[in-house]
Amino acid sequence: MKYLIETYGCQLNMAESSAIELMLKGQGIEKTEEAEDADVVIINTCSVRKTAENRIWGRLGYFNSIKRKKNGKLDIIVTGCMAERLKDELKKEAPFVDAVIGTNEKEEIPSYVLSHEICKKDSYSFLSSYYEEGSFSSYVPIMNGCNNFCSYCIVPYVRGREVSRNVESIIDEIRFLESKGVKEITLLGQNVNSYKGEYKGQEVDFPTLLEIIYPYLDSIEFVRFESPHPKDFSNHLIRVISEKERICSHIHLPMQSGSSRILSLMNRKTTREQFIALLDKMRGEIKDLTFSTDVMVGFPTESLEEYEDTLSMMEIMGCTEAFMYYYNPREGTPSAKMDGQIEESEKIRRLECLINEQLERAKRIKEARLPFVTKVLVRGTTRDDKSRLLGYNEHNDMVSFLPKREHAKGDMVRVRLTELNGNTYRGEEIDV
């Protein structure tokens, strides 16, 4: 048998797809990139934005045409958040889909592929490993779901309440990844720093978890985490990041808006002033700190002055990266019913201005850091010059450099960076 898997949406979906693939391969089922060659197609879906769901409906139509060409000899499985949110609608509008499998039952997919049977589950369970064969970087989900109910977000309704992964299971996975020579891990959760576990009879929060897993790191040199919530970013967590060298000092900290009133409407449980105080605290304690963020414009009733608050907050935050988007109402969330919805043309105008400012700001920030020495994780050679290697550092900067010796994909190399070419730093390897 052969399978094809397509993944949409967040990093947790990507991690879960890797785990599904690992289980499928363990059953002797081979991967293919061509739908015509597949016996089963698995679509791991996202519901965060309407555009993602629209794209998936289009892909379902494409796979149905392949299924007809193969005289029905193609199983189509839809899983993930869209399957959870629109289970009945999918079954009605796409009767050619063989199985709609929600987020709690993803681990049952290999069983369904082999036997067309599935065990219904009432709660989410973590898989033993999310490793992608041959990769030097791996996601490590540590929690699932969200209790925050931001007024624009569908996640709590499709992922459910927060569930934290067993500490021993996380340690076991890190040991496994070490045996595979993995160099980078990213701890994942919808609200990763609200992690709550237990270890040796003691309660474990997120910074304590980082302290527990740290002695198990050998080949793993970069430890990242996404996505934290500002309200749960404790002094203990800041201290752990500042003290533990392998925990990357590039922090993704979602801002969403620079206006306290809009943040309140979003139910973000933090204010502009609290966010700025957190930034100041982090900058005062974490050496060589850089930020990335999520930011939204055009939320219902957002005035031009409040939009300007977001622009000024972006300047205060000084991100090297930002994921920027305009508000898109999601059916079933409180904000979709709010008065004061803003015209799409105005939302687009605000977003374009935000993006242009951020691109200029990121370039200015990156140039100001030069020159500096950094560890680079090698990804391969550059496209235009095979004598140069390409990789990235703990700050998620793309780096092109001239090596002094041969290196393989996944090697960690010290590089002195001397110039910025577009969005890529350039430099050369230095002796340790």
3-state secondary structure of 19: helix
What is the C-alpha to C-alpha distance for residues 186 and 128, in angstroms, rounded to an integer? 16
Q: What percent of the chain has pLDDT over 90?
A: 91
Rounded to whole angstroms, the maximal C-alpha distance in the chain is: 65
**Which one-letter amino acid corresponds to residue 134?**
G
Per-residue pLDDT reduced to its tens digit, 214-253? 999 999 999 999 999 999 999 999 999 999 999 999 999 9
| Residue 312: cis peptide before it, omega within 30 degrees of 0 | no
Cβ atoms 335, 329 nearer than 8 A: yes
What is the C-alpha to C-alpha distance for residues 92 and 290, in angstroms, rounded to an integer? 48
pLDDT at 118 exceeding the cut of 90: no
Residue 188, judged by CB atoms within 10 A of its CB (0-12, 13-18, 19+), counts as buried
Cβ atoms 408, 217 nearer than 8 A: no
pLDDT at 136 exceeding the cut of 80: yes
Q: Provide the sign of the torsion angle of the four alpha carbons 189, 398, 282, 327, taken in this order.
A: negative
Go through the domains of the chain in sequence order and give each one's CATH number: 2-115 (3.40.50.12160), 137-368 (3.80.30.20), 372-429 (2.40.50.140)
Cβ atoms 79, 98 nearer than 8 A: no
Start-end of H helices in 369-401: none
Nearest Cα residue to 316 out of 288, 351, 347, 275: 275
Banded pLDDT at 316 (limits 50, 70, 90) = very high
Per-residue pLDDT reduced to its tens digit, 332-344? 899 999 999 999 9
Q: What percent of the chain has pLDDT over 70?
A: 100
β-pairing verdict for 137-141 and 424-429:
unpaired
Quote the pTM value: 0.92
